[in-house]
A and B are shown apart, each in its own frame.
Chain A
Amino acid sequence: MTDILNAIVALSNFVLIPGAAYGAQLALGALGVTLIYGILRFSNFAHGDTMAFGTMATILVTWGLQSMGISFGFLPTALIALPVGIAITGLLLLGTDRAVYRFYRKQKAAPVVLVIVSIGVMFVMNGLVRFIIGVGDVNFADGARFVINARQFREMTGLDEGLAIRSTTLITLITAAIAVALLFWFLNKTRTGKSMRAFSDNEDLALLSGINPERVVAVTWLIVAALATTAGVLYGLDKSFKAFTYFQLLLPIFAAAIVGGLGNPLGAIAGGFVIAFSEVLVTYAWKKVLEYLLPENLEPSSLVQLLSTDYKFAVSFAILIIVLLFKPTGLFKGQSV
């Protein structure tokens, strides 16, 4: 019995909990990508750097709050700063839309042109973030680091395996759940949300029924700012902030959005978790878990690892290719790419 518990604890500690937290971060990022794809109809390559910018803004506000002596008890101060960060990022995105994207929208430019334009925007944001906060690692998490750490868990339960639950992991999961619930409520219940969905489904019909396209676009950017900043801050709290890493996040986020079905919010969430768990599970060495579960004479001497961790990125892209081959619109029905 204890063996089974130990196995479960080991698996949760190293696979389920980190996978869930990473999945939630990817899902929030993928939601932003998918919204832009659904409503503005292009793949926004600047999304990773939007997350970086939002996180940077939040960090700066956090530092301001900390210097004034304000903290949030055992929760990270960055959560108080988050709304301000979202507002600043929203202004930036509305500004870029005004200055850059609107011009191409008026011209009815092909989506591929907008994709290239977004790559340009990506480089500008990239530079902006590095210019303001630098290229180094920034650790801005404060408050309690653990809800329970491995040692405490071992002492409490008497098991051999420890289970660590970080407060940032819990915060990530809870915040992600709240954000997703708010988004779905907004899209399905409010008038603006409905007009956004109408605009996404059929632009011409939406225009005919008197929906103001500029307003829809502006609201979309604001929601994207909220999602991107939240995703970025949660990721930064969980790990740490570094401009380059956020740029690299773009790949798994796009993989998540495409696997789930571009343009479909539910798909983005599912895709985030699929990508996160596939990275961890397929490359997991099952040795420890099997040692607990199997009788002694069957215990493995090798690592029982399907693929070495070198291949973890290959795994998520293999899944991406398989999904696109058999379900070109993604797991949930999205738009075909």
Chain B
Amino acid sequence: MKKLLLASAATALVAGTAMAESHMGPVKIGIILGFTGPLESITPDMAGGAELAINEVNESGAFMDGTQIEAVRADSTCIDSAAATAAAERLVTTDGVAGIMGADCSGVTGAILQNVARANGVVMISPSATSPALSEAEDDGMFFRTAPSDARQGEIMSQVIMDRGISEVALTYTNNDYGKGLADSFQKAFEAAGGTVTISAAHEDGKADYSAEVASLASAGGEVLVVAGYTDQGGKGIIQASLDSGAFDTFVLPDGMIGQQIVDDLGDGLTGSFGQLPGSDSEGSAIFQEMATEAGINPTGIYTGESYDAAALMILAMAKAGSTSAADYAGEIMDIANAPGEQILPGELAKALELIEAGEEIDYVGATAVELIEPGESAGTFKEIEIRDGAIETVGFR
């Protein structure tokens, strides 16, 4: 009996190595997103974006001598770290994925990174986790993201304000991870650039009255009021009360505060206010929109392009390293994403694979003009907007 076991184990082992060497089986990539939970409405399109890149490579047959890639979906739930960890564990141990595209929300992404990715040495590329905390997380060089950190938005916002010759601002933020993270990073960047934040006051969403907050903000003073909140929540209440009492005339609006609804509701009061939100006018985003529409995916869905880019980066890095082992290809991801090299747009993955085969450098641009900065996250292109005559107008890109 013992001999039989030993023999079968040995056979399996030999067979396993043989398989790996000849690239017979498909390479698996895990797609872990919150298919249930708060993001369930946008995750199907995100997964679709990633699978679009995988299908494109499979059809070309140019990846590692025609090796096929198989996507394996798993549910991160967005909020339940334990469930997300279990799902990722399954991807790595049972399915044997070579890399993970995900996760979506910052909290579960951190949990999977610490409990699964680092423990097993698997690369993760998240398309949508934006928490600044992930920049500082220990990742052994295994974690990347194609979405910009909110810390980045804080810096951009600081530049936008400085460029308008404003050096003194009051700051209010919605009391949650998004608001606090953005407010802190903005304050740090703004003060480093020589500006003054007269007050940084939190506000709670959905409360009855904001006159106390506005009173304090007005007393502290400042040329403009930075509102890191939500359009349909406390952020709007603060702006309304500030306009009513004449406390501030101009407001700085980050991504959570920009929407046509608030402009319509507040009318003239917002004229002259400005802000920024992630977005690019790159050639790649137009091409990606066409490709996605053809594949039946909503191209305007948030983070769909980032998902395509995350999957594409992972595949190209594997091709460049000539290996599906994380230890080999993790180091190539930054190279692939950044200049120098031939620019690669969406739909050109086959061309990219051929260039890599020929030993040439490539610079992956993709759907969202990817440019990775240390420690492996998107530099992020931001659209600067200004509100004129009741419309949100784009005034430039940063």
Contacts and interface: CB of A to CB of B under 8 A. Distances in A.
Interface residues of B, number: 31
B320 interface: no
B211 interface: yes
A239 interface: yes
Interface size class of A (residues with CB under 8 A): 35 or more
Which of B201, B212, B240, B247 lies at the interface centre, i.e. has the most chain A CB atoms within 10 A of its CB? Answer: B212
B221 interface: yes
Interface string B79-109: 0000000000000000000000000000000
B357 interface: no
Interface string A298-333: 000001010011101100000000000000000000
B219 A239 contact: no
Interface in A253-290: 276, 279-280, 283-289
Contacts of A283: 212, 215-216
Interface string A133-148: 0001101000001000
Contact of A284 (B215, B241, B261): B215
Interface string A154-178: 0000000010101000000000000
Interface stretch (B202-210, B290-298, B334-342): B202-210
A286 B219 contact: yes
Interface in B236-258: 236-237, 240-241, 244-247
Contacts of A285: 199, 215-216, 219-220
Contacts of A240: 240, 265
A292 B214 CA distance: 19
A96 interface: no
Main secondary structure of the interface of B (DSSP, over half): helix
A149 interface: yes
A303 B199 contact: yes
A269 B275 CA distance: 43
A139 B265 contact: yes
B207 A18 contact: no
A335 interface: no
B218 interface: yes
Interface stretch (A72-80, A104-112, A117-125, A243-251): A243-251
Which 9 residue pairs across A and B have the least CB separation, nearest first?
A: A150-B246, A18-B211, A14-B215, A285-B219, A288-B219, A285-B216, A162-B246, A280-B212, A309-B213
Given A18-B211, A136-B232, 4 more contacts: A13-B245, A15-B215, A137-B265, A285-B220
22 contacts: A14-B215, A14-B218, A14-B219, A18-B214, A136-B232, A137-B232, A164-B244, A239-B240, A240-B240, A240-B265, A245-B207, A245-B208, A280-B211, A283-B215, A284-B216, A285-B219, A287-B219, A288-B218, A288-B219, A303-B220, A309-B201, A309-B213
